[in-house]
Structure 1
């Protein structure tokens, strides 16, 4: 009796295995189809890259800028849950030039990372004294570094956008037509900014500016200006040593203009005016603006900059030779 049951049991076991295999195959197929139909997750490190991706894609993509609105995207670090989400993304669009500390500190899958600075290597600006600090009694010394705010020259932003578009198409070939059409629209939207910058270069060539740190070099190069960064810490009141260095530099340069990333205090504006320096605030837009987008905000800021420089040309803030000698 047992011998008769064995063939039946084997047949039943084989049938059961085939059923399980078929169900598993069907499950895998459903999961794969669901994965293909779900939006591709694209992670970006700052608002300008977010703006580019949002301008290019449709609902086939989900865009994630993990940096909270009240945090600095250059220094912010993600928690464990956010880190896991970033690592599982389909594409991670980074800026390069050491922008965003978390990019350097997290273990990111190389195959998923697009470093946009690589497509503009020929245009990168390196500052020899990017960072100056002291170690003990060894005195102050400097380190070279690459300026990371490429998007302040819309021509460089356009090159970033082209590289991002190609990578998005590779990720989802079915979206190629949409992405290429949107890339053309994005390039068209940048034309007024290029016109404004060309006009600034024509009307106000050769200007010298101060800034707290290396931020505006690509904007300055586009306008034929020169930036002198002061190594002042962001959002901190300049200390006595900072003012001493500025006064020494003013004896040599006598620069009358300064660009600030955020609105300076009235006290700082007054103290700079005492040194013959007038301040203009130009937000580099590393975080999303409260209203509008990159293009509309840059247009507005460049319009205000043109008005500011025109006013300075009419009524420059100047000091007498006696005042300059007293610095």
Structure 2
């Protein structure tokens, strides 16, 4: 099994520390500068989509995160930091999700960490998890698991925190923000109902995950998901293949592998034909390349459609 690249992680942290003077420029710099700030700057896609739904028609919402970047380990450049510096409101996930915020100086008066309201329910990684995808290369997950928004009921709490922050930043738009937030919450409640309806069927299968992105969903719905560290663009390492085969054999139940993004076709075929494991893409929507109609909610609906079809296939 692959080992965490602790040297790479240390170098990444040192790079963040080296950028600290740049981040420090995001602090408050006087009443005149505050009056000139405008727009809402967010750290990754779910927050961008929610803010767009609530206030996008009236106020600019911007997300400096480049396409293909991992929002957890992204290191903002000067242009991105300027986007945050000039925003009236900065919105992040919190829960230690965006690692660069550990060294950034964003004043609390205009920065909302949307997950702060349920910090007592944060989950922690039980061990270091090495992972590699996108331009960021290999990195290690440790400490608090920041994938809170994947649970639709926690997402509702984050939407409400964002709603409050938007109203405080732009009180003249309070009415439409409240109405649109209520509509978004209804959509998320429907997602929760759809997940809950699938729970009995999910519990009749063995669930594996290519990456520990679904731990809050597992916690919410009482699911047992075994996490791996798999690259969707590479075939399984022998140790991973042996572990997956053992789990599938010992459970004597149909087995699903959940993927954050589409795995290569020969990997899907190998899992299916050699190990009897069916693959299904369940996107956390961190930084999707293609955004369907419905944005974040649309992505989650598509996830549930694929999951239902996969379960139907297991039953055939």
Q: Per the alignment, in what secondary structure is the counterpart of residue 278 of structure 1? A: strand
**CA distance in structure 1 between the aligned counterparts of 2:88 and 2:214, rounded to whole angstroms:** 32
Instruction: Give unpaired runs (5+ residues) of structure 2.
Output: 1-30, 132-139
CA distance in 2, matches of 1:143, 1:58: 33
Q: Does 1:50 align with 2:34?
A: no
CA distance in 2, matches of 1:145, 1:254: 33
Q: Please say if residues 201 and 222 of structure 1, whose CA atoms lie closer than 8 Å, have aligned partners that are also in contact.
A: no
Residues 125/57 of structure 1: CA separation in 2 closer, same or farther (3 Å cut): same
SS at the partner of 2:173? helix
* 1:262–1:283 Cα contact (<8 Å) kept: yes
Aligned-partner Cα distance in 1 for 2:84–2:145: 25
When residues 301 and 132 of structure 1 are mapped into structure 2, their CA distance, relative to the original with a 3 A threshold, is: closer
- Residues 99, 302 of structure 1: CA spacing in aligned structure 2 closer, same or farther, 3 A cutoff? same
* TM-score, scaled relative to structure 2: 0.75
As a proportion of its length, which structure holds more helix? 1
Stretches of structure 1 that go unaligned for 5 or more consecutive residues are 1-30, 134-141, 315-327
Which of 306, 311, 314 is 2:308 aligned to? 306
- Alpha-carbon displacement from aligned partner over 1:146-180 (angstroms, at most 9, x marks no partner): 33222222211111011111111112222222211
Instruction: Give 1:118-157 correspondences, 5 Å limit.
Output: 118-131=116-129, 145-157=143-155
1:291 aligns with 2:289: no
C-alpha deviations, 1:169-203, integer Å up to 9, x for none? 11222222221111111112223312211211244
Q: Is the 8 A contact 1:39 1:60 kept in 2?
A: no
The equivalences for 1:229-308 within 5 A come to 229-233=227-231, 235-247=233-245, 256-273=255-272, 274-288=274-288, 289-292=290-293, 293-308=295-310
Counterpart residue number, 1:101: 99
Structure 2 CA distance for aligned equivalents of residues 203 and 307 of structure 1: 12
The alignment yields a C-alpha RMSD, in angstroms, of 2.9
The answer to which of 67-76 and 177-186 deviates more is 67-76
- Bigger Cα Rg: 1
Q: 1:309 to 1:165 in 2, by over 3 A?
A: same
How many angstroms apart in 1 are the aligned matches of 2:59 and 2:37?
A: 5
Alignment of 1:112-261 (within 5 A): 112-131=110-129, 145-205=143-203, 207-233=205-231, 235-247=233-245, 256-261=255-260
Deviation at 1:309, TM superposition (A): 0.5
Tell me the CA shift for residue 59 of structure 1: 4.7
Could you say what secondary structure the match of 2:39 adopts? strand
- 3-state SS of paired residue (1:257): strand
Distance in 1 (CA, whole Å) between partners of 2:192 and 2:146 is 19
